[in-house]
Chain A
Amino acid sequence: MAEAENRKIVEQAHAALALGQTRPYHDMLADNVKWTVMGSTAWSKTWVGRNSVLTDLFGELRSQFVEDAIHITTQAYYADGDFVAVEGKGHNRTKAGLAYENEYCWIYELSSGKVTEVVEYSDTDLISRVLGSPRR
């Protein structure tokens, strides 16, 4: 059943990510994935395409952090049909020395085993206070 499979894909990708292995996470994103960061911060927009998400969002975000990595852990997964909702926390520090420990709820939509759409809900106030603007 797609629902159980979808959950497995997302859970395994996040589990690997928590161990610093980004490949499964990147691989689960469809080529034409759309990724939306909710709100009206400098980071709040919709990135279209896997390359754009990896470079313009993840790459830019990594460049803000002391370590060239994004540390995320997850607490819960909720799968329903084509959707998997995930609650998670960030454990990052900016180059300016500020803690960036955001709380997230991601809504992943999958089709044929790939994530085609992501909506990210997070503490936008924290984003605007702690992160610099992305360069593009």
Chain B
Amino acid sequence: MTTDQTRRDVLGVLATSALAPLLPIAGIHAQSTEDLKVREAAVGANAAIGDRDKNKELLRAAFEAVEKGDAALYWALLADDVTFSITGTTSWSRTFVGKTEVRDKLLVPLRNQLDGANRCSAKRFIGAGNVVVVEARGLNRTKAGQAYENRYCWVFGMEAGRVHSIKEYADTQLVRKVLSPPPI
């Protein structure tokens, strides 16, 4: 895939009407589209680096924005058929199938319990083949006033610059203690 194709695809995903309603919910600012263009171009323009490094750089850029409360690039990277599995047996532990379900059943309900955008600080990106493992710490507080600073290890399955699967390892004890169950 060429740089321009990658960039057009990402921007195209952002612009689709299916995703448009998500943007305000996810804390996406108008300027983030411009940031996204710049980051995508920066990653894609370097023809010398392989897929593994491109995947890592895309996720690094996405998480840099997420740390600031801007989920635009993160969202743009998710494929329509993405599956998001949360380990454990909490009320949040299940596999969410498809971008719409991830949004409606996971991210929006989670966001609704938090005091502000869902933010986290990612510290390590381990890439191998089509997979990038990301370790991160949550930077959140619930509307009820409790700190929600979970520890995450996500295994991202990537293909052609898009995330097709996510497996989340997290502090499930903290999930149970601090979060309310999501609405069914």
Contacts and interface: CB of A to CB of B under 8 A. Distances in A.
Given A78-B131, A125-B88, A125-B90, A107 B173 contact: no
Contact of A126 (B88, B124, B135, B167): B88
B135 A107 contact: yes
Contact of B128 (A78, A125, A126): A78
B126 A78 contact: yes
B153 interface: yes
Contacts of A126: 88-89, 172
B172 A38 contact: no
A105 B90 CA distance: 18
B133 interface: yes
A83 B171 CA distance: 22
A122 interface: yes
A48 B155 CA distance: 27
B129 A127 contact: no
Contacts of B173: 39-41, 124-125, 127-128
Given A123-B89, A126-B89, A39 B171 contact: yes
A85 B133 contact: yes
Interface centre among A41, A80, A87 (most CB of B within 10 A): A80
Given A123-B88, A126-B88, A80 B127 contact: yes
A122 B170 CA distance: 7
A79 interface: yes
Interface of A: 38-41, 76-80, 83-85, 87, 103-105, 107, 119, 121-128
